[in-house]
Every structure is written in structure tokens, then in C-alpha cells.
Amino acid sequence: MRTNLWSDRDRLYKSLLALSARARPVRKGLRRQDFVSAFIVFGPVSATAVPGVIPLLLLADSNLALHVSNWVLILLLFVVGYWWGRYTVAPPWRVGLTAMLIGVFMVLVAVALGG
């Protein structure tokens, strides 16, 4: 029984090798769908930056604007985490709080590094 397993495996590997030796690689290139997908991703990613930029544009004190921007984005992390948590088995407030705490940690690391 053990030898049949090895012979079957050897036949499989040899057939895969024979197929791959005759195969031609598919020509790569950018298609229209690639550009459409990139634009679809660009939209939401850019939209998530807008709430953080607004305090920087409206407030004259740059230090205060940076702190307000951080808190707006941390609150946004809680809201998005809560929304995402409704689609999981975890309680939404716990998912929102976890996302928010990750954001707070990231802000603390940035501030510790001079940001």
C-alpha cells in the first residue's frame, strides 16, 4: 500500500512537470479593469482622509488642529469598528473599542517619535 502511494505521487509529479514544460506563460499587462479597480479603491481611501484634514484647514493653531484631527480620526475608528462589529459574532462596542484603542496606540507611538 505504501509503495502505491509513492508511485501515484511520482506519476502525479511527472505529469505536472510535463504539463508545465509545454505551458506558455500568460502575457501580463494592465487592463481597463485594473484602472477601474484602482479608482474604486482610491475613492474610499481618499474620503477617509477628509475628516482628519478638515481641522487642519479650519483651525489657526496647528498644535490644536493636530490634536483635534487625531481625536476625530480616533472617533471615526470607533464608529467604523462598531459598524464592522455588527457583521461579526463579537459585540459591536467591543470591536469599536478595540479599533479605537489601536488608533490611540498608534497616535501615542507617533507622538513618542516626535510627531
13-63: per-residue pLDDT in tens? 999 998 888 888 887 889 999 999 999 999 998 988 899 999 999 999 999
C-alpha cell at 42: 482610491
CA distance 6 to 113: 57
Burial class (CB in 10 A: 0-12, 13-18, 19+), 88: exposed
- Whether residue 17 is contained in a domain is answered as no
- pLDDT per residue over 53-91, tens digit each? 999 999 999 999 988 998 999 999 999 999 999 999 999
pLDDT above 60 (res 1): no
- Whether residue 11 is contained in a domain is answered as no
- Whether residue 8 is contained in a domain is answered as no
**DSSP-based three-state secondary structure for 34:** helix
pLDDT of residue 5: 62
pLDDT of residue 79: 94
pLDDT above 70 (res 97): yes
User: In which domain, by residue range, is 89 found?
Assistant: 32-112
- Look at the chain and report how many structural domains it folds into: 1
For the entire predicted model, the pTM comes to 0.62
pLDDT of residue 3: 58
